[in-house]
Copies of this chain bind each other. A is one copy, B any other.
């Protein structure tokens, strides 16, 4: 598996699983059925944001991540990141590899901390992964996410120094 910067021609490989993940409505505080144009602008960031893809030896896109500033001005050293792993390629360490890559890159680019703004508390695998990568649940905002099967659940805010 290689992780490299996303190129415009990667988007057609990202959009199917990104659309599928948003449509499920279980993990992202984003529209469940966005237009492709909206989704592309949201995911394929312009600098200083960065978007990367994880690809296998055959060049198949397994997942993608983006990171950039979470705040601006006097808090511009706080980064944030988002991750999508193609469901067909889950449980193969793609999320962890993307997470480690993004942490390294964010550190290299001079960010001092990373903040996740909205980790759905029922997303056990993501919460466990981020904890194992050094993130702490700082708080859980009650009733902040309307889960399709669990109803109103909390959103974790997770944070770590870089």
Contact = CB atoms under 8 A, between A and B. Distances in A.
Interface of A: 22, 25, 28-32, 71-78, 112-113, 115, 117-118, 138-139, 141-148, 155, 157, 159, 161
Nearest to A32: B73
Given A115-B141, A139-B138, A25 B74 contact: yes
Contacts of A77: 146
A22 B76 CA distance: 14
A138 to B, nearest CB: 4
A22 B145 contact: no
Contacts of A32: 73-74
Nearest to A71: B29
